[in-house]
Chain A
Amino acid sequence: MNRELNKIALTIPPSGIRKFFDVVTTMKDAISLGVGEPDFDTPWHIREEGIYSIEKGKTFYTSNAGLLELREAICDYLDRRFELKYDFNEECIVTVGGSEGIDLALRAITNPGDEILIPEPSFVCYKPCAALAGGIPVPIPLKAENEFRLTREEVEEHLTDKTKAIIISFPTNPTGAFMTKEDLQPIADLAIEKDLIVISDEIYAELTYEGVHVSIASLEGMKERTIIVSGFSKAYAMTGWRIGYATGPENIIGVMKLIHQYAIMCSPTTSQYAALEAAKNGDEDIAEMKAAYNNRRRFMVDSFNRIGLTCFEPKGAFYIFPSIKSTNLTSEEFATQLLLQEQVAVVPGTAFGESGEGFVRCSYAYSIDDLKMAVERIEKFVLSLENKKD
C-alpha cells in the first residue's frame, strides 16, 4: 500500500510534540508551558470587525492575493514599523498564516535537489516543507554559547554548489534568539556573495524586548533576494484566524501567488477583514501585550537561573530555552519525567532539531500566577533529581 503514497511525505517523521500533547490531555492538574501561541484573546475591536464583515455579508472569495486594502495596510504597516517598502500590488500576498507563506516560498524557489539551509533549533515546519518542495534540507546546528544566533562561519561550513536558500527566523521559536543589524550584516554579505535566497520568517518581529527588530530585507542589496514571511498570529494574538502574509521580489511573489491560487484560492475572507483592522489600528494592542510578555520573560529567566537550570536571556518571542544538562537527562527524559512526576509540560529541545538536545522550551505565554506555580513544581523536580544523585 505504501508504495502508492508520496515517497517524500512518508519519510517525514511525526512531530516530536504530539506524544506530549497526548499525555498532557489525560492529566487533570497538569500545567502546560508547552503552548506556542499567545494567551491573550484577540483584541475585541479586531474580533468585532470580523463579526461585522460576516453581518455585512462579506462571505465571498477575495482576490487570490488577498484584499487590496489589506495588502495596502500590510505594506503601510511594514513601512511604519520596520522601514520596509513594498508595492502592495506586485510584492505582497496574503496567506493562510505564516505557515502557508513558508510552504509557498519554498515551493516557489525550489527545484529537485536544491539544498535549503535551516539553522536549528527552529520552528518545526521548515525541514518538512523544504523536503516536500523537492529540496534537501540541510540543518545548521546553532550554539548556546552564541545565544543561538547564526554566524557567517556556520553558514559557510554548510554551503555547497547546490545551496539555493537559507531560512532564518529571528526572534526564534524555540530559543528566543535575536539578531541585531550588526549580527545580520555578515549573513547578508554572504547571501549576496553566494547568490542565496533568504526566506526570513519574521512572525515574532513585534516581540523583541531589547532593541528593535531589523529585517534582513532592509539591508543593502537584500530586498531583491529576501522573502519575508510573517503574519498576525503572534503580534495580535490571532493564531486561530490563520492569517499571514509574504512580501518579496515581484517574480517570486508572482510564483507564490500562482501556487496559492490553485492550492488555496484565497485566505479566509472574515480573517482578512479582521486582519485589516489589526494592521490599521492594532499598534497599541501590540505594545500592551509586549509589556506583559516582558515582565514574564524576566520573571522566568530569573526563576530558572535561581533553580539551577541556566538560561541565557532571550531577547525575543515568548519562550525561554533553559539548559537541562546539569540534570544528566536527555531533553526527552527530562520532559517526560517532569510531566509524569510534577505534571508540568515543557517541550524537549530536540523537537526543534538535534541541536536542541540538552535544552527544553518553556513558553511564558501564561499569567505570572501560572508561571509561578509551574516554576515551583519544576524546582521540586530538579531537587528530587539532585537528591537521587546524592
Chain B
Amino acid sequence: MNEALLKAIENNSKRTVTDLSAMLGIPELDIAEQLTQMEKDLIICGYHTLIDWDKVDTEKVTALIEVRVTPQRGEGFDKIAERIYLFKEVKSLYLMAGGFDFTVVIEGTTMKEVAHFIGHKLAPLKAVQSTATHFVLKKYKDYGIVLDKKPKDERMAVTP
C-alpha cells in the first residue's frame, strides 16, 4: 500500500500515471502496478465523480435516515446491514455509535419515492425497530469540496 499515492489521487482520480510518476518520483510501471494491486485489494474501491446535481435539471432528493435495529442472535449488525445496503436506493450506510444504530443515505427522484422506500422496504424489515428521516435541503460541501464556489487566485501575479 502506498499512502502518498492514495493521497495524490484522493481528490483527483483523473491524474495520469505519467503525472503521478513525476509527482511522487516513482517509475510509471510501479505506479500502474500499485494502483492495480490496490484495486484488487479493495483499498481503492471505485473512482467517482463529484457532481452538484442542484445545477442539473434532474430532480434528486437525498434523505438521511436514522435506523434503530435489534441485532439478531449470531448475526450481529452485519447481516442486517447487508439486507439494507443491497437495496439500490441506498447510497451509503454507516454503523453508528450513539443514539441509533445505522445512518442510511437514500437518494431518490422525489420525496414520495423516498417515503415509499422507507415505508415499504426499510421500516418493515424484521430487525428494524424505528426510523427517523431527515431530508437534505442543500449541499454546501461534499467530500471536502465546497460545491458552489470556484477557488480564485487572489494573489498578485508577481511577488518577490
Contact = CB atoms under 8 A, between A and B. Distances in A.
Question: Do A and B come together as binding partners?
Answer: yes
Interface of A: 15, 17, 20-21, 24-25, 30, 32, 34-37, 39, 123-125, 173, 291, 295-296, 298-299, 302-303, 345, 347, 351, 368, 372
Given A39-B153, A291-B4, A291-B7, A17 B23 contact: no
- Most A-side CB within 10 Å, residue of B7, B24, B25, B157: B157
Contacts of B153: 39
B22 A20 contact: no
A35 B157 contact: yes
A295 B159 contact: no
A124 B159 CA distance: 10
Given A291-B4, A291-B7, A298 B23 contact: yes
A130 B160 CA distance: 18
A299 B22 CA distance: 5
A17 B158 CA distance: 7
Contact of A35 (B7, B23, B159): B159
A148 B157 CA distance: 26
B158 A295 contact: no
5 contacts: A24-B158, A35-B159, A125-B160, A295-B4, A295-B23
- Most A-side CB within 10 Å, residue of B8, B24, B153, B159: B159
Interface residues of B, number: 16
Contact of A25 (B4, B23, B24, B157): B157
- The DSSP consensus for interface residues of chain A is mixed
Contact of B158 (A291, A296, A302, A347): A347
Interface string B1-37: 0001001100000010001001111000000000000
Given A291-B4, A299-B22, A15 B160 contact: yes
- Most B-side CB within 10 Å, residue of A20, A30, A299: A299
A345 B4 contact: no
Contacts of A345: 157-158
B160 A351 contact: yes
B157 A303 contact: no
A35 B159 CA distance: 5
A24 to B, nearest CB: 4
Contacts of A21: 156-159
B155 interface: yes
Contacts of A37: 155, 159
A173 B7 CA distance: 28
A125 B160 CA distance: 9
A32 B22 contact: no
Contacts of B155: 35, 37, 39
Contacts of A372: 19
A323 B153 CA distance: 28
Interface string B116-160: 000000000000000000000000000000000000010111111
A281 B25 CA distance: 31
Closest 8 CB pairs of A and B: A34-B158, A302-B22, A295-B23, A24-B157, A21-B158, A32-B157, A299-B22, A36-B159
